[in-house]
Structure 1
Amino acid sequence: MSSTNITFILHKPQLSENIGACARGMKNFNFQKLIVIDPKPIFPNDKILATSVGAKNIISKSKVFDNLEPALKNIDYVIATSARFRNKNIKHIQLEDLKKIDFTKKIAFLFGSEASGLSNNEVSYANYTLQIPTNPDFKSLNLSHSLIIIAQYVSSIIKSKTSNFKKSKKVKTASKKEIHAMTNLCIKNLDEINFFKPKEKKPIMLENLRNIFYKMELSAKETRILASVFASLGKKR
């Protein structure tokens, strides 16, 4: 287990202060990898650096992307944080369930914007959704507070050096990049046969399709097999 396997992703953050506070919270618990997706404020800026205090190095080394998908290409598992239960066929976990996660893999914790959180489209890229236990009558948590709670909990798990997952060393988990490529090939072939109809339902159909593939925890070999199947079906037409 290593803290270097953990990445924190802020999706469309709106406030400079929260971005800086998130970096500070990460460094408190010895995490270094920060990704920012389409931030509203100019990134970085003086306010972000000021509120990051001693964590300016995390800001300077962070990566910025315009959208979520390319940010996940080197990630094995994505855990999306959400204050509400999603009516999706996806694994919903609590903080204590993080003890069962294999932190020898590359794990990303995904946080939504302060105003709206994560949409179902963003959640469709996740393997799990995580809910932090709060007052049921007041579930809203500040972005940086949510990150700090999770960072502290994960740090304690890593220090305990426990892992309940055991797999053959010969089995390589598919990377998000490999799953993206396989999924996009499937979507391309489905597009060519006009599968997504009516057109207004295509976005939700794509969400459901990604939910199926991303929650399966496919191996690299299984992903290659599925990609070959989709490629062959495309040639048959």
Structure 2
Amino acid sequence: MGRASKGRATAITAPVIILVRPQLGENIGMAARAMLNCGLSTLRLVSPRDGWPNDRAQRAASGADVVLEGAEVFDTVQAAVADLERVVATTARNRELSQRILTPRRAALEMRGWLGQGERVGILFGPERTGLENDDMVHADTALSIPLNPQFSSLNIAQAVLLVAYEWATAGDTTPVSRMAEHATRPATKEELQNLFDHLERALDQSGFLRNKDMRPSMVLNLKALLQRAEMTEQEARTFHGVIKFLSKNKHEE
């Protein structure tokens, strides 16, 4: 089996995913899909059992054709990692080898640092049934272990690729951890919230709800704090104005 005939002098700005002796074309396709979901597109295959290209991989990739079309095939792990400065090997078992073992999250941060320094990085994933062997692991300088249920930590190769690729993607993601839905109106300004509270306070005074002079200050402060915590949108503030107006009108008509 020979490697794909393409040059490898181009700088790599994201990790190379290397599937070692993958057994099922479907898993290769699903791994490619997971890669592209997370912004990775460079795939290398070491001695895929059913040969390459593979129709089942194509079907399972669900449109991640760019990954499969660019995949390179190698006879050995040594050949697949020859041009890389850093290699991370995924493992679920304790090995005889002495290697640093990182979580996917930590590995993602370190890989971004290595790539930022111009180093080329690859991640090794082992066969579905056995995982990587020691002869494969010796080509890596770092090991990666996914913390899962110790009583049941079995993953197929595509699942493992997705978990590691996701940590890679989120390590560089700048999406706010909390935001309003796309269709929502803008957040209400402090002036709009103050106007809303003034409207509410007048209505509560008119209804007699704030008639207790001793309790009134704390009740007013609590209600004002409640409106601030609500993180209302401009549309919600206007709606609330309408609710207060409607309830006040009905109260006066009784």
What TM-score range do you get, normalising by the shorter chain? 0.5 to 0.7
Q: 2:102 aligns with which of 78, 86, 93?
A: 93
Report the Cα distance in structure 2 between the residues aligned to 1:19 and 1:159, rounded to whole angstroms.
26
The alignment status of 1:137 with 2:151, answered yes or no, reads yes
Deviations 1:100-119 (A, max 9, x none): 34232211110000111111
Report the Cα distance in structure 2 between the residues aligned to 1:65 and 1:3, rounded to whole angstroms.
18
Partner residue in 1 for 2:29: 20
Give 1:157 shift.
1.3
| Structure 1 residues 55-134: aligned runs within 5 Å | 55-98=64-107, 99-101=109-111, 102=113, 103-104=115-116, 105-134=119-148
Report the Cα distance in structure 2 between the residues aligned to 1:42 and 1:110, rounded to whole angstroms.
19
| Structure 1 residues 197-216: aligned runs within 5 Å | none
Q: Look up the equivalent residue of 1:121 and give its one-letter code.
A: D
Report the Cα distance in structure 1 between the residues aligned to 2:32 and 2:102, rounded to whole angstroms.
24
Deviations 1:180-230 (A, max 9, x none): xxxxxxxxxxxxxxxxxxxxxxxxxxxxxxxxxxxxxxxxxxxxxxxxxxx
- Partner-residue secondary structure (3-state), 2:88: strand
Structure 2, gaps ≥5 residues long: 1-10, 175-254
Report the Cα distance in structure 1 between the residues aligned to 2:56 and 2:103, rounded to whole angstroms.
33
TM-score relative to the length of structure 1? 0.64
Give 1:158 shift.
2.6
Q: Look up the equivalent residue of 1:14 and give its one-letter code.
A: Q
- Partner-residue secondary structure (3-state), 2:102: strand
Share of identical aligned residues, percent?
A: 31
Q: Which has the higher contact order (CA 8 A, sep 6+)?
A: 1
CA contact (8 A) 1:26 1:148 kept: yes
Report the Cα distance in structure 1 between the residues aligned to 2:72 and 2:60, rounded to whole angstroms.
18
Report the Cα distance in structure 1 between the residues aligned to 2:98 and 2:91, rounded to whole angstroms.
15
Between Structure 1 and Structure 2, whose CA radius of gyration is higher?
A: 2
CA contact (8 A) 1:4 1:31 kept: no
TM-score relative to the length of structure 2? 0.60
The alignment status of 1:34 with 2:48, answered yes or no, reads no
CA contact (8 A) 1:79 1:129 kept: yes
Distance 1:84 1:59, change over 3 A: same
Q: 2:164 aligns with which of 144, 150, 165?
A: 150
- Partner-residue secondary structure (3-state), 2:150: coil
Give structure 1 regions of 4+ aligned residues with deviation exceeding 6 angstroms.
none
Q: Look up the equivalent residue of 2:133 and give its one-letter code.
A: S
- Partner-residue secondary structure (3-state), 1:159: coil
| C-alpha RMSD of the superposition | 1.6
